C-alpha cells in the first residue's frame, strides 16, 4: 500500500506505520473516527465512507480546515503561497537553490537552510503574531520552522525557531495528495477532548474508532497535559466502547528509552495486541530506535469483537 504523508508533517505522524496498521483495521469502514487526529495521516491513508477527525489542539484543527478549503483549488493556493515565500525572501528549493545557499552549504553542512532563512523567518513570525487569523502565514511557519512544529508561548505568541527545512517538492506533493483526499472524501472536523468527542458520536454498524493518544512514556510538546490520570480515563472509555460492542484500535508504546508502560501492559491483556515495526528515529537520539516497542491493541481481530472483559 502506498503511504501518503500529511502536509502538516506532524510530530508522531503515523504515516510510515499505516501499511501495517491498515492491515489490522476492519474492512468496509463506514465512519472512521480519528480521535487523536494530529496531522491526520491515519485518516488520509484509510478508506471510509466518512471521516471524523478530532484533536484538542485548536491550531491543528484550524490548519486542517484552512488546507481543506484552500486545496480545493490547489494551483491558485500554490501560487499564493509561492508569492508569500518570494515576498519574505525565504528559500524555495523546489524551484531553485541559489548561489548563496550553495555557498552556505559548504560551510554549514546541516544548517544551511536555517542560516539562510533565519532573518526572513523571524519577520514572518512577527507578522503572524501581529495577525493571528493569517493561517497562510502559520502554515509557512510550520513548513520553515524547527521540526515542522507548532508551538505558542504563554502569551499565545508563536515562538518556534527556524528549522533547517524549506518548501521543497515533498511539501507540494503532500498538498496534492491531501487535496485529492479532501475532494473524494466526506470529512468533518472537531476540536474536543477525546472523551467528549467519543461520547457525542452515535456509532452504527461498521463504524471504527482509531486512537493515537500522546504516549505516557515518550516526550513531545503535546504530551505536556498527558499523565496517568488521562491514561486511565482513556482505558475506561475503551472498555466502555468494548462493552457496547463498538470496534476500536489503539496505537501506543509499551517500552521507550528504558521505561515501560506497565499500566498499558496490564490493561491490554484482555484485548488483542500486535507489535508494530517502527523505524522511528529522533534526530537527537538514535538509540530511541532500538529501545522503543510500538504496539497496536484492538478489541477486534478481523472476525469478532471481544465483548466480555
Ligand atoms: C500521537 S499524536 C497523533 C498523531 C496522529 N495520529 C498523526 O498521524 O499525525 C496525539 C494527538 O493527541 C492530541 N491530544 C492530546 N490530548 C488530547 C485530548 N485530551 N483529547 C483529544 N486530543 C488530544 C494532541 O494534540 C496530538 O495531536
The alpha carbon torsion through 236, 242, 247, 253 (nearest 10 deg) reads 40
The domain 64-173: what is its CATH number? 1.10.1020
Residue written as cell 491483556?
A: 269
Q: Confirm if 65 and 37 have CB atoms less than 8 A apart.
A: no
230 C-alpha to center of ligand 1: Å? 12
63 C-alpha to center of ligand 1: Å? 14
Q: Using one digit for the tens of pLDDT, what is the confidence trace for 192-244?
A: 999 999 999 999 999 999 999 999 988 788 888 899 999 999 999 999 999 99
Atom of ligand 1 nearest to the CA of 215: 1
Q: Which of 154, 155, 153, 121 is nearest to 138 (CA)?
A: 121
Selected residue with higher pLDDT from 286 and 9: 9
Q: Confirm if 63 and 135 have CB atoms less than 8 A apart.
A: yes
56 C-alpha to center of ligand 1: Å? 7
The per-residue pLDDT for 288 is 47
- Banded pLDDT at 32 (limits 50, 70, 90): very high
For residue 253, how far is the Cα from the chain centroid? Answer: 16
pLDDT score of 276 more than 90: yes
Mutational pocket test of ligand 1: of 20, 38, 150, the residue with most ligand atoms within 8 Å of the beta carbon: 38
pLDDT score of 175 more than 70: yes
Atom 27 of ligand 1: nearest residue by CA position: 38
14 C-alpha to center of ligand 1: Å? 11
189 C-alpha to center of ligand 1: Å? 13
Pocket of ligand 1 (CB under 6 A): 10, 12-14, 36-39, 41-42, 55-57, 60, 193-194, 212-214, 222, 225-226
Longest dimension (CA), the chain: 66
Q: Using one digit for the tens of pLDDT, what is the confidence trace for 121-141?
A: 999 999 999 999 999 999 999
Residue 55's φ and ψ, nearest 5 degrees, are -155, 145
The per-residue pLDDT for 141 is 98
Distance between CA 127 and CA 243 in Å, rounded? Answer: 51
Atom of ligand 1 nearest to the CA of 34: 6
Atom of ligand 1 nearest to the CA of 41: 8
What is the mean pLDDT of the segment spanning 145-160? 95
Atom of ligand 1 nearest to the CA of 223: 15
104 C-alpha to center of ligand 1: Å? 37
Atom of ligand 1 nearest to the CA of 6: 9
Yes or no: is domain 15-56+192-298 CATH 3.40.50.2020? no
What is the mean pLDDT of the segment spanning 235-259? 95
Domain boundaries, the chain: 15-56+192-298, 64-173
pLDDT score of 309 more than 50: no
Q: What is the DSSP letter of 156?
A: S
Q: Using one digit for the tens of pLDDT, what is the confidence trace for 112-124?
A: 999 999 999 999 9
The per-residue pLDDT for 301 is 81
Residue written as cell 503511504?
A: 3
Residue written as cell 524549506?
A: 166
Distance between CA 107 and CA 294 in Å, rounded? Answer: 39
34 C-alpha to center of ligand 1: Å? 9
For residue 17, count CB atoms less than 10 angstroms from its CB and return exposed for 0-12, middle for 13-18, buried for 19 or more.
buried
pLDDT score of 286 more than 90: no
Q: Count the neighbouring beta carbons within 10 Å of the beta carbon of residue 234.
A: 23
pLDDT score of 177 more than 90: yes
- Cα 87 to Cα 7, 55, 92, 121: the distances in Å are 22, 33, 12, 11
Distance between CA 11 and CA 265 in Å, rounded? Answer: 24
What is the mean pLDDT of the segment spanning 9-15? 91
Lowest mean pLDDT among 46-50, 109-113, 156-160, 291-295: 291-295
> What is the chain's alpha carbon radius of gyration, rounded to the nearest angstrom?
20
Question: Where are the alpha helices (H) located in the chain, listed in sequence order?
Answer: 18-24, 41-44, 58-70, 74-88, 99-107, 112-130, 135-144, 169-184, 194-199, 228-243, 262-268, 287-291
Distance between CA 192 and CA 57 in Å, rounded? Answer: 8
pLDDT score of 52 more than 80: yes
Express as a percent the part of the chain with pLDDT over 90.
83
Q: How are beta strands 259-260 and 247-256 bridged, if at all? A: antiparallel
57 C-alpha to center of ligand 1: Å? 8
Atom 23 of ligand 1: nearest residue by CA position: 56
Amino acid at each position: 500500500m502506498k503511504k501518503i504523508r500529511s502536509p502538516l508533517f506532524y510530530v508522531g505522524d503515523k504515516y510510515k506505520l499505516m501499511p501495517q496498521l491498515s492491515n489490522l483495521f476492519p474492512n468496509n469502514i463506514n465512519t472512521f473516527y480519528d480521535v487523536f487526529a494530529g496531522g491526520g495521516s491515519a485518516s488520509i491513508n484509510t478508506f471510509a465512507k466518512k471521516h471524523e477527525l478530532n484533536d484538542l489542539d485548536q491550531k491543528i484543527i484550524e490548519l486542517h480546515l484552512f488546507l481543506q478549503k484552500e486545496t480545493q483549488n490547489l494551483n491558485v493556493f500554490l501560487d499564493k503561497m509561492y508569492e508569500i515565500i518570494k515576498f519574505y525572501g525565504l528559500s524555495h528549493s523546489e524551484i531553485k537553490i541559489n548561489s548563496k545557499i550553495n555557498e552556505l552549504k559548504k560551510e554549514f553542512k546541516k544548517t544551511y537552510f536555517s542560516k539562510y532563512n533565519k532573518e526572513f523567518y523571524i519577520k514572518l513570525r512577527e507578522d503572524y503574531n501581529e495577525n493571528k487569523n493569517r493561517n497562510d502565514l502559520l502554515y509557512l511557519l510550520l513548513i520553515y520552522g524547527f521540526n515542522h512544529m507548532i508551538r505558542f508561548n504563554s502569551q499565545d505568541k508563536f515562538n518556534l525557531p527556524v528549522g533547517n527545512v524549506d518548501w521543497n517538492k515533498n511539501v507540494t506533493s503532500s498538498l496534492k495528495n491531501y487535496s485529492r483526499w479532501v475532494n473524494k472524501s466526506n470529512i468533518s472536523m472537531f476540536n474536543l477532548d477525546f472523551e467528549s468527542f467519543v461520547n457525542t458520536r452515535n456509532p452504527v454498524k461498521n463504524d471504527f474508532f482509531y486512537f493515537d493518544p500522546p504516549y505516557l512514556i515518550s516526550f513531545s510538546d503535546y504530551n505536556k497535559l498527558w499523565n496517568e490520570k488521562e491514561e486511565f480515563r482513556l482505558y475506561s472509555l475503551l472498555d466502555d466502547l468494548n462493552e457496547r460492542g463498538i470496534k476500536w484500535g489503539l496505537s501506543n508504546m509499551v517500552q521507550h528509552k528504558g521505561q515501560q508502560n506497565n499500566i498499558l501492559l496490564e490493561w491490554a491483556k484482555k484485548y488483542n495486541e500486535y507489535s508494530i515495526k517502527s523505524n522511528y528515529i529522533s534526530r537527537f537520539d538514535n538509540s530511541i530506535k532500538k529501545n522503543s516497542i510500538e504496539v497496536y491493541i484492538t478489541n477486534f481481530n478481523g472476525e469478532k469483537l471481544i465483548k466480555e472483559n
